[in-house]
Structure 1
């Protein structure tokens, strides 16, 4: 049972936390999110969408207020309802959007360089968990992006692993639609897609479908980031083959100490999960060194973030900062950029070397990087 806890999300302690509150004070931060979901709507106050499967795609504009004076990488859940904007994450607006108005939303929420970030959450994630986690990532990474959350039907229960996994298949076509609408929008110039854990499966399947339907993937989709991907490593190889060589650059966060993916491997026929690859294994390292357009970040030695080593890309203050300063701008952590605000203390980091320090902050342990010679 202790191991089973490895794939639980950072669950909220109360239900109904998404009920909008009055406008917070000026010292709070705001994250304005487009939510696209295949979850079933619910009339339960402050919940909006359940973990069951809906009959169609639903869209909503959700505005999250984030309290001041908080530790990056954390979510402050309301202890009681309504939440106090000075102390906890709350929403100030949850407004439905018609499917036909999605491009209008992009136009009204475009940032200066028209970059969009699409995030797909993982297993055992209730709707409110996905909303607050994504808001935390966007805020803490300090990335200038238009944020889009794709939330598929997860019941938020440990024993519903198979239900959740089938729900990702159930939602694949709708994710394709959301991605394609961003591609078609004249108010979007670049798209980064992030899939966490089980959410990496629909991301890869959506890209595979787009490639096979259109014979290509739009160059607007510049980067795909797979964080602790709960992907069968053999299936992942086949997905890459089907997508083809003309694909976005793929960054993968892995950890040999990921307790969640150890359990996933156990219940999935003992097949290695991509996010749990041990890069000290010579065979895996040899495959990565020959890969094209893939960079792997090994977080095994990190000691901050979550105790399960499964959400470090979002919960480690150091990693989430790197995530925003580099990866969400389409840059590898090893890219040389003397004009960047954060200098990583190296001009070019070869495959297998490490990043140990960042200006103004020292990593608790190095991040090992395995990067192919060709990024795309």
Structure 2
């Protein structure tokens, strides 16, 4: 009993601090789109207020939908699962950090005062209502804009939401934030499966881009696509480009090609064949985005491995050949991650985040951004 009393006292004190800090945690709503994964029936642990999903996704409050790394069997009439998520950012979160519990710090469960937490997912089965709310939020913001993030390989649904929230917070996004979550398996050894799936998801991202552009009528749609997610973005633009050309060839107005759906397109460490980018994607990108920026690093170990697998140079390793092209800015990130893969600098390096913030908020050209 003597041993038990201090333990109980520590638990009570811990709960008091937890409640106090929880009230100060900042909550950031995230719009969900293209959560192209099979939904699961959840097992409820009602006494604990926790929903436990397959593959370990746990939420601290109710959610009506969960997503895996499998492809969706959603209706072909509207293939996207839409919804909203609530993600909390701890009050002292450092830029570029998605804090999770660490055993070395004796942290065994998530706490909103120390970790970025996913609290709630709410699906939306009425697309008109989803886009209407997005339009209203964009109109109420200081800048009429929508920020869209497309994650890369080996990212599960919860991780995608947390990274999107962290980016939105660190970049100071004013308008609605959209997480486009294609069904990555979220497994290191599932590279081939993710590679096939990201191309499969491109038509859905095309639909999302077109709908945001047409239904919300916001002035700026800014897109950051990371790694393999860059393929979904580029293939979506290619599809819009080819459809517009076909429309013009058939005597149509070809309006889509003249109304660029993307204001700022940022490809961060793109896992894309460099030669294929130049021959296949370059024209659609220049036609359909007002501004395009590519961040690359010759020290990116993940892309070095990808280059070996494909026997082809990746754009995120050697984009410098594009430096002289009008409408495209190329930023080289030097060696900075001595012990990691050097592949996630877009969201983890505070200097890169500051550079992205200037680009997105002020449209400052690379030559006038002294940070990199």
> Normalising to structure 1: TM-score of the pair?
0.76
Query: How much does 1:275 deviate?
Result: 0.2
Structure 1 stretches of 4+ moved >6 Å: 21-24
1:224-263 equivalence runs, <5 A? 224-243=265-284, 245-248=286-289, 249-263=291-305
1:91-110 equivalence runs, <5 A? 91-98=118-125, 99-110=127-138
Query: How much does 1:117 deviate?
Result: 1.0
| Higher helix residue share | 2
CA distance in 2, matches of 1:148, 1:38: 14
Whichever of the two has the greater Rg, that structure is: 2
CA distance in 2, matches of 1:223, 1:63: 25
Query: Would you say the 8 A contact 2:323–2:330 is kept in 1?
Result: no
1:39-78 equivalence runs, <5 A? 39-44=37-42, 45=52, 47=57, 48-56=66-74, 57-78=80-101
Structure-2 residue corresponding to 1:201: 231
| Higher strand residue share | 1
Question: Does the residue aligned with 1:176 lie in a helix, a strand or coil?
Answer: helix
Aligned mate of 1:327, from 352, 357, 360: 360
Structure-2 residue corresponding to 1:7: none
The 1:22/1:218 distance shift into structure 2, 3 A limit, reads: farther
Structure 2 gaps, min length 5? 1-17, 43-51, 58-65, 75-79, 246-256
Aligned mate of 1:267, from 306, 309, 314: 309
The 1:23/1:190 distance shift into structure 2, 3 A limit, reads: farther
Q: CA-to-partner distance for each residue in 1:51-107, whole Å, 9 max, x for gaps?
A: 111112211201110111222111112467863211211233211012342212313
Query: Would you say the 8 A contact 1:143–1:325 is kept in 2?
Result: no
CA distance in 2, matches of 1:328, 1:220: 18
CA distance in 1, matches of 2:91, 2:294: 31
The 1:108/1:25 distance shift into structure 2, 3 A limit, reads: farther
Query: Would you say the 8 A contact 1:123–1:156 is kept in 2?
Result: yes
1:87-236 equivalence runs, <5 A? 87-98=114-125, 99-110=127-138, 111-215=141-245, 216=257, 218-236=259-277
**How many pairs align?**
310
Query: How much does 1:260 deviate?
Result: 0.2
Question: Does the residue aligned with 2:366 lie in a helix, a strand or coil?
Answer: coil
Structure-2 residue corresponding to 1:313: 346
Query: Would you say the 8 A contact 2:153–2:194 is kept in 1?
Result: yes
> Normalising to structure 2: TM-score of the pair?
0.77
Structure 1 gaps, min length 5? 1-20, 336-343, 345-354, 358-366, 368-376
